[in-house]
Amino acid sequence: MRDTPAPIVFEYTLNVVGRPIVENCLNGYNSSVLAYGQTGSGKTFTMLGQIPTRAEEMPEQAGLIPRMFQYLFDRIKQLESIKREGREVCFLCKVSCLEIYQEVITDLLCPERTRLQLREDLRQGIYVDDLSEEVVNDGEDVVRLLRQGTANRHTGGTRTNALSSRSHCVFTCVVESQTVEDGVTSIRTSRLHLVDLAGSERQKVAESEGERLKEASSINRSLSTLGLVINKLAGAHRQPAHVPYRDSRLTFLLQDSLGGNAKTVIIANVSPGAGCARETQSTLGFAQRAKQIVNKARVNEDTRGEAALLTRENERLRRELQLLSDTYQALRQVRLLD
């Protein structure tokens, strides 16, 4: 699709990746989209593109994230408008945006919150402590937060890209749906990670110097851990092995996305230049190994009021059983009299 106009490429990506992922989230599945590739291959352009000024005016070069949220809120509006007797559905969406820069987590919506820590518990799973979340009601809210978050992100020049993203950026949306039907409240909660990874290239190719060299070393360590996790998971069906999720904040945060409770898509970005052949081969090898990973996605659902419903159903069955017993006894008496 090298010579295909950008709007067609973005619409194709939305149809193949974006819409199915959004539907997964609406159905209660955790989901992730990761853009991987060397600096300058188009990861940020794929994920963000031209961020709209207003959500209603989607530019032709708007990326996957703005288009996915436009589709998400269109679908929520449709689902909430469907009225059935005794059934009601409502949605709540919350977003956060963080970067991992040299293994330091910073809240991009509240950048004074830095050096945040990853936590894990049975109820929330893996989460970032003290990370701010904003309730979003429509595409306008998302566009505003996208602009705010990306403005606070670390960028810097390398030989391969004058405005290279020097950090991993994770834009997350929590989608909570509440369905009330026949006195039972069902709550589904899904988490959508949209990840723009830092560029994966050799330091010699990027020709980084000074602070950029330090950044490149940190990026390479982080991406090396990601590659190691992918390799371990890809070979797990042959020989179970320890997966080093905790060796990097990126892989620890994305543990569910990599072999866990999530449906994950990895977009492999490559550059068409002949001088990028080695990096392209490396990216395609990464994608090929990632395809071998088997995740264990499940619907995240909490049903309230189910005990009361089962009690009522149990009482109904008891009454039916008593009626059948009484009928049987009556028929037996008639037969004895005959």
Q: How far apart are alpha carbons 255 and 103 in whole angstroms?
A: 16
CA 198 from chain center: how many Å? 17
Q: How far apart are alpha carbons 109 and 118 in whole angstroms?
A: 17
Query: Is 37 annotated among the ligand-binding residues?
Result: yes
User: Residue 321, SS3?
Assistant: helix
What is the CA angle 204-210-214, rounded to 5? Answer: 75
84: CB partners within 8 A, 6+ apart: none
Query: Is 40 annotated among the ligand-binding residues?
Result: yes
Q: What are phi and psi of 230, to 5 degrees?
A: -60, -45
Query: Is 44 annotated among the ligand-binding residues?
Result: yes
Kindly write down the DSSP assignment for every residue of 123-146, as one continuous string.
TTEEEETT---EEE-SHHHHHHHH
Query: Is 227 annotated among the ligand-binding residues?
Result: no
Token pair listed for 157? 């020049």
23: CB partners within 8 A, 6+ apart: 75
Token pair listed for 291? 């395809």
Token pair listed for 124? 């929330």
Residue with tokens 């990306």: 150
Amino acid at 227: G
Token pair listed for 299? 């619907």
For residue 197, count other CB atoms closer than 10 A to its CB: 26
Rg (CA), the chain: 25
Beta-sheet strands, E only, within 242-298: 263-269
Query: Is 303 annotated among the ligand-binding residues?
Result: no
Binding residues for ATP: 37-44
Binding residues: 37-44
